[in-house]
Amino acid sequence: MKLTLRDLAEKLGCHLLGDSSISVTNVSSLQSATSESLVFVEDVQYLDAALSSSAAAVIVGEFAAGNFAASAKKPLLISPQPRLAFARAARRLRDPDRNRVIHPSAIVPASAELGKNVAIGARAILGEHVKVGDETTIGSGSVIGDNVAIGGHCRLDANVTIYPGTTLGDRVVAQAGAVLGSEGFGYVRDSQTGRYEQSPQIGRLIIEDDVEIGANSTIDRGALAETRIHRGAKIDNLVQIGHNVQIGENVVIASQTGISGSVTIEDNVVIGGQVGIGDHARVEAGAMLGGQCGILPKKVLRGKGVVFWGTPARPVREYLKELAFLSRSAKKER
Amino acid sequence: MKLTLRDLAEKLGCHLLGDSSISVTNVSSLQSATSESLVFVEDVQYLDAALSSSAAAVIVGEFAAGNFAASAKKPLLISPQPRLAFARAARRLRDPDRNRVIHPSAIVPASAELGKNVAIGARAILGEHVKVGDETTIGSGSVIGDNVAIGGHCRLDANVTIYPGTTLGDRVVAQAGAVLGSEGFGYVRDSQTGRYEQSPQIGRLIIEDDVEIGANSTIDRGALAETRIHRGAKIDNLVQIGHNVQIGENVVIASQTGISGSVTIEDNVVIGGQVGIGDHARVEAGAMLGGQCGILPKKVLRGKGVVFWGTPARPVREYLKELAFLSRSAKKER
Amino acid sequence: MKLTLRDLAEKLGCHLLGDSSISVTNVSSLQSATSESLVFVEDVQYLDAALSSSAAAVIVGEFAAGNFAASAKKPLLISPQPRLAFARAARRLRDPDRNRVIHPSAIVPASAELGKNVAIGARAILGEHVKVGDETTIGSGSVIGDNVAIGGHCRLDANVTIYPGTTLGDRVVAQAGAVLGSEGFGYVRDSQTGRYEQSPQIGRLIIEDDVEIGANSTIDRGALAETRIHRGAKIDNLVQIGHNVQIGENVVIASQTGISGSVTIEDNVVIGGQVGIGDHARVEAGAMLGGQCGILPKKVLRGKGVVFWGTPARPVREYLKELAFLSRSAKKER
């Protein structure tokens, strides 16, 4: 999509210095910029490189607002959050889908309620009584169970599976292979025979607005109650979320982390990759969990802004002291 | 499904106190119970809450069999294993599939041998010479390779892949996205060129009765021999099981655990989440492996009922002492 | 496929001792060998067992080239790399696909450019302008995005997803459920609202020749630049590779390992299972990373042939000393 700098600056809330009639069609890195590219610089040390690049214009931080800007060789879009402005510019410049259709090979029962301008890929399968909001895209090969409700402006990629009864808010993204609403891992052992039988896994999964879920991640439905991913949570690839879990608003979860049943992650928690959280644990708002750390079942981690690391997880400062002590002591021995 | 308490008590082997003509249609938590719900209580401290809930009746432990029961406000179903009785009640009350058909869009070659009342979802694909037992369900979008044999009363959910030649027993469950019988990770390095070439991965995968496998888990076929999951094993989401592995009866494996090639897990072992087990290791019957622990290649872990933790895994008591020592020592330093 | 030993010996570059007119049809383990099987022995201690097995012939190391060979009861194929010769024999003996067709239910737009003898499974879906090289197989249910280029002799199994614009070289294998070219995990936080917005994930994924990728693994496209898997890398099941990552030639990555964004893994690195590597780290050529170890963001691991272990990863010798010190000290305490 082609936009003038004037247009972009207005939409992004940037202060524009330079020729506002110039147009751009894409965002890029400094290295791969062309004469239609918009680039960005957060740090003054890269500004020269940006100005010498082939880009048409540069989004910069407010550090560039002074005298410097007057002499700039390219138009500047000045923003208090240049990285954010760049992300938004990318979204503005993205070409609209050329082909928003319901592919004739998709299975869409008469009971489906589709909003406006819904796109459904080849061989996607909708169960009975599925609701799909305006402008939502369902990828090829995806399987949407009975009574699933999907909001507007969602994007489900290829080969996604959504179990019956699951609810998705607006602007939810699920990348390829994600499984939403599977049955949780709950068994009762028969003390007579030693065999396990499944506990009922008949609750629901509710995913709120603006949640994004990576490829091949799995989120289980509630056992009797619900699993809920609150608005704005971002979940990477190959993440596991168990039954009855509550994930707070704007929580970030990196790849391959596993969250056991009935865990509560409060708002704004940041979780690294390969973290493991035992059942019924609670991580309080604003905590940060370092990669590969492990939280014991029922544990409560307190402290906004505290970073935890290690297994069992402890405040990182403590853990680093332990590592340093261990290293020194082992070296001393011989 | 609607059942009278008399009927349920008989089927579950419970002792019924109260009006046996009352019917229930579902199981639920205390919070979400309606006048048609059956709830359960394992612990006497929750009995009052259950009796004050909206539920129609309560499954309780034998602690409730005495005088207390006489005064109960609701019918009681008394069981020596109330949680188990509840799980079984849930299964009894589950509505039968409304629609057990072979979807016209499924691909079922003439060489397939289907039992009675088999259900096959939209766009499922069966290879040549596939056998499917009575009452088995194959989910939409699943791909079943040539010469696969699936027992009776199995449930494969959507987008499952089963490689050619794999065998499944009766009552096997595989949730969405599971991959059964993939090629193992075995390579030979050419010492001349430094390149890797695949070792033959031409063995089989055999999954016995009552095994349940979570979403997006992967189980490799044998290299030359077989991979075997013995009866009753329960496997969570995103678990990896390598070639030639033997998983014993009633083994439980939590999410994101990885089991390398040629490992033997004996009967009744319980394995936490994110555990890693090196190739050719053996875990003896009844051991328990704490979350995130790691077992070295070729290691043998002995001891029924012993809990192991840490990497490399050691008896948990030992490991906790080490953690305590480390914590104290690091604090002492300053 | 049936081949004479004469034929095989020539193709494998083995020295043949014994009756060259004998034919074999398969490779097998010593235990399951039949009179048409070829087996192999790397270690002289198993030679007797091989010679007493039911196999037709034995691939052996050069240790067997002496007098011993003269008295052998079976033909011997002598190789300096017997395991490698066995792997190659397996490939030679594999039956050709009986049925290399484009299934009528596959969706192949007119804009596709297909090489010779391409096989496409049932319900596979190709986007617009997809290129597929000679002899490549695309599995049932796979979804190949617009503008994907796939080389010759590749094998994509069932339910694989390839995002638009991804490039695969020759002889690439992707097992079932693998997701190639998904969007990376990059967000910018709006400091005003606390909400995350996606950074542009518009780069590409390039997979070079001879790369093999396991079931349900996920590899993200570049953010602005590219993610590249260099030739000959072998990747196990459930592995995660983030945006902008560079994986060197002949790198081996075991199951459930996660590699964060912008990491560089140089040539010939060997990575165990469940390893976690933080963003922007670099692992230099020839290093080995033990299972479950963790590398911090931006860390550079040096040293060809050095083995690293633990989190944070350190040379294994150092780490083992620390473990030994800890164990001794904790025991001393009481």
- Residue B205 pLDDT greater than 80, yes or no: yes
Of all residues in chain C, the one with the smallest CA distance to A290 is C296
* Residue A256 in tokens: 């391959």
- For residue C23, what are the domain limits? 3-93
Confirm whether B331 is domain-assigned: no
Annotated catalytic residue within B15, B153, B230, B243: B243
Phi and psi torsions of B86, nearest 5°: -65, -45
Closest CA to C145 of C179, C101, C185: C179
Quote the CA–CA distance of A130 and A148 in Å, as a whole number: 5
* Residue B12 domain flag: yes
**In the prediction, which pLDDT does A68 show?**
63
On whether both A181 and A58 belong to a single domain, the answer is no
**pLDDT at res. B67:** 60
| Contact between C205 and C220 (Cβ < 8 Å) | yes
Together in a domain, B132 and B261? yes
**Is residue B322 a contact partner of residue C327, using CB atoms and an 8 Å limit?**
yes
Nearest to A159 among C143, C183, C292 (CB): C143
Round to whole Å and give the CA distance between C33 and C18.
19
Do the Cβ atoms of C185 and A329 come within 8 Å? no
Q: Which long-range contacts (CB under 8 A, 24 or more apart) does C151-156 make?
A: C151/C209, C152/C115
pLDDT over 70 at C124, yes or no: yes
Nearest CB among C87, C256, C274 relative to B197 is that of: C87
| Nearest-CA distance B238 → chain A (Å) | 7
pLDDT exceeds cutoff 80 at A138: yes
Instruction: Confirm whether A108 is domain-assigned.
Output: no
pLDDT at residue B163 is higher than 90: yes
Kindly tell me the burial class for residue B118, based on how many C-beta atoms sit within 10 Å of its own C-beta (0-12, 13-18, 19 or more).
buried
Q: What is the mean pLDDT of residues A203-227?
A: 98
C243 is catalytic: yes
Residue of B nearest to A278 (CA): B291
Pair A89, A231 in one domain = no
Pair (A247, A118) in one structural domain = yes
Which residues on B lie below 8 Å from C81 (Cβ)? Answer: 188, 190-191
pLDDT, residue A333, reads 75
| Res A198 pLDDT > 70 | yes
Q: Is pLDDT at B122 greater than 80 in this prediction? A: yes
Question: Structure pTM?
Answer: 0.97
Within a domain: residue A86?
Answer: yes
C contact chains, 3+ CB pairs < 8 A = A, B
Whether the bond into A312 is cis, omega within 30 of 0: yes
* Model pLDDT for residues B220-251, shown as the tens digit of each residue: 999 999 999 999 999 999 999 999 999 999 99
| B247 and B290, same domain (yes or no) | yes
pLDDT, residue C150, reads 98
Whether B210 sits inside 8 A of A220 (CB atoms) is no
Nearest beta carbon to residue A215 from set C182, C225, C325: C182
The first and second tokens of residue A184, run together, are 């949780």
pLDDT band with cut points at 50, 70 and 90 for residue B153: very high
Q: What proportion of chain B, given as a percentage, has pLDDT over 90?
A: 92
C66-102 pLDDT tens trace:
766 666 789 999 999 999 999 999 999 998 876 799 9
Same domain, B178 and B239: yes
What is the chain A residue with the closest CA to C215?
A: A216
Instruction: Say what the ipTM of the complex is.
Output: 0.96
Q: How far does CA B47 lie from the centroid of its chain?
A: 30
Span B14-23, pLDDT tens digits: 999 999 999 9
Q: Are C234 and B278 in contact (CB < 8 Å)?
A: no
The answer to whether B212 touches B230, Cβ cutoff 8 Å, is no
Of the CA atoms within 13 Å of residue B262, those in its CB half-sphere come to: 14
- Name the band, by pLDDT with cuts 50, 70 and 90, for residue B63: confident
Angle at C124 between CA C120 and CA C130, to 5 degrees: 75
Kindly report the nearest CA distance between residue B147 and chain C, in angstroms.
14
Mean pLDDT of C159-181: 98
A56 touches A37 (CB < 8 A): yes
Say if the Cβ atoms of B237 and A325 lie within 8 Å.
no
B101 within domain boundaries: no
C109 falls within a domain: no
Provide the pLDDT for residue A4: 97
B193 and B265 co-located in one domain = yes
Which residues contact residue B136 at a Cβ distance below 8 angstroms, ignoring those fewer than 6 apart? B115, B118, B119, B150, B151, B152, B153, B154, B155, B156
Q: A318 and B327 in contact by Cβ < 8 A?
A: yes
pLDDT of residue C333: 75
Answer whether A273 sits within 8 Å of C260, measured CB to CB: yes
Interface test with C, best of A255, A320, A333 (most C CBs within 10 A): A255
Query: What percent of chain C is predicted at pLDDT more than 90?
Result: 92
Same domain, B257 and B168: yes
pLDDT, average across residues C311-333: 94
Separation of CA B86 from chain center:
18
Residue among B237, B240, B252, B256 with most chain A CBs within 10 A, to mutate: B237
Residues A58 and A117 in one domain: no
Q: Compute CA distances C214 → A118, A139, B188, B213, whole Å.
A: 34, 23, 17, 18
Mean pLDDT score of chain B:
95
Say yes or no: A49 and A163 in one domain: no
The nearest CA of chain A is from the CA of C110 a distance in Å of: 15
Note if the bond before C312 is cis, omega within 30 degrees.
Answer: yes
- C227-268 pLDDT per residue, tens: 999 999 999 999 999 999 999 999 999 999 999 999 999 999
Q: What single DSSP character describes residue C45? A: G
pLDDT tens column, A69-79:
666 789 999 99
Tell whether the model's pLDDT for residue B70 goes beyond 80: no
User: C159, C270, C332: which to substitute to probe chain B, counting the most B Cβ within 10 Å?
Assistant: C159
Please write the tens of the pLDDT for every residue from A297-326: 999 999 788 999 999 999 999 999 999 999
Q: What is the pLDDT of residue A38?
A: 97
**Average model confidence (pLDDT) across chain C:** 95
C-beta separation of B196 from B187 below 8 A: yes
Closest CA to C182 of C211, C222, C153: C222
Integer Cα distance of A187 and B88 in angstroms: 11
Tokens of A214: 């990576």
Q: In chain A, which residues have their Cβ closer than 8 Å to the Cβ of B91?
A: 197-198
Predicted local confidence at residue B69, as pLDDT: 61
Non-local CB neighbours of A243 within 8 Å, separated by 6+ positions: A183, A184, A185, A186, A201, A203, A220, A221, A222, A223, A227, A261, A262
Please indicate whether, in this complex, the C-beta atoms of B237 and A182 are within 8 angstroms of each other: yes
CATH number where C253 lies: 2.160.10.10
Are A27 and C294 an interchain contact pair (Cβ–Cβ within 8 Å)? no
Read off the pLDDT of each residue in A4-14 and give the average, rounded to a whole number: 96
Alpha carbon of A330: minimum distance to chain C alpha carbons (Å): 5
Q: Are residues A161 and A292 in the same domain?
A: yes
CA distances from A313 to A112, A238, B319, C122, C177 (A): 47, 22, 15, 48, 33
C29: closest chain B residue by CA: B224
Transcribe A212-239 into DSSP letters: EE-TT-EEEPPSSSEEEE-TT-EE-TT-
Arithmetic mean of pLDDT over chain A = 95
Nearest by CB to residue C177, choosing from B179, B185, B326, is: B179
Å from A96 to nearest chain B CA?
29
Residue C151 lies in a domain: no
Q: What are the CA-CA distances from residue A177 to residues A218, B204, C15 (Å)?
A: 9, 25, 48
Nearest neighbour of A273 by CB, restricted to C143, C145, C276: C276
Are C215 and B182 within 8 A, CB to CB? yes
Contacts of C201 (CB under 8 A, 6+ apart): C183, C184, C186, C220, C221, C222, C223, C243
pLDDT tens digits, B7-58: 999 999 999 999 999 999 999 999 999 999 999 999 989 999 999 999 999 9
CA-CA-CA-CA torsion sign (A263, A267, A269, A270): positive
Do the Cβ atoms of A252 and C326 come within 8 Å? no
User: Cα distance from A263 to chain B (closest Cα, Å)?
Assistant: 14
- Please tell me the distance from the alpha carbon of residue B311 to that of residue B314, in angstroms, as a whole number: 8
DSSP classification of residue B38? E
Instruction: Take residue B51 and report the two structure tokens written for it.
Output: 């009796």
| Cβ–Cβ gap B321/C329 under 8 Å | no
Cα four-point dihedral sign C19, C24, C30, C31: negative
Cα-Cα-Cα-Cα torsion B159, B165, B166, B170, nearest 10 degrees, comes to 100
d(CA C271, CA C259): 10
In a domain, B273, yes or no: yes
Quick one: pLDDT at residue A305? 86
**Mean pLDDT, residues B70-80 taken together:** 87
pLDDT(B305) > 80: yes
Reading the block at residue C230, the tokens are 């260099």
Residue A107 CB coordination number (10 Å): 18
Predicted local distance difference test score (pLDDT) of residue A83: 96
SS3 C18: coil
Q: Are A122 and A236 in a shared domain? A: yes
Neighbours of chain B (3+ CB pairs under 8 A): A, C
Residue B182 gets which letter from DSSP? E
Query: pLDDT tens, A40-50?
Result: 999 989 999 99
Give the Cα separation of A63 and A84 in Å (integer): 16
Neighbours of A42 (CB within 10 A): 15
Residues of C in contact with A120 (CB under 8 A): none
Q: Which of A123, A190, A200 sits opposite B123 (nearest CB)?
A: A123
> Which candidate from B255, B292, B333 shows the least CB-CB separation from A240?
B255
- The bridge status of strand C23-24 relative to strand C3-4 is antiparallel
- Touching subunits of A (3+ CB pairs, under 8 Å) are B, C
Q: What are phi and psi of B111, to 5 degrees?
A: -75, -5
- The CATH code of the domain that includes C81 is 3.40.1390.10
Domains in chain B: how many in total? 2
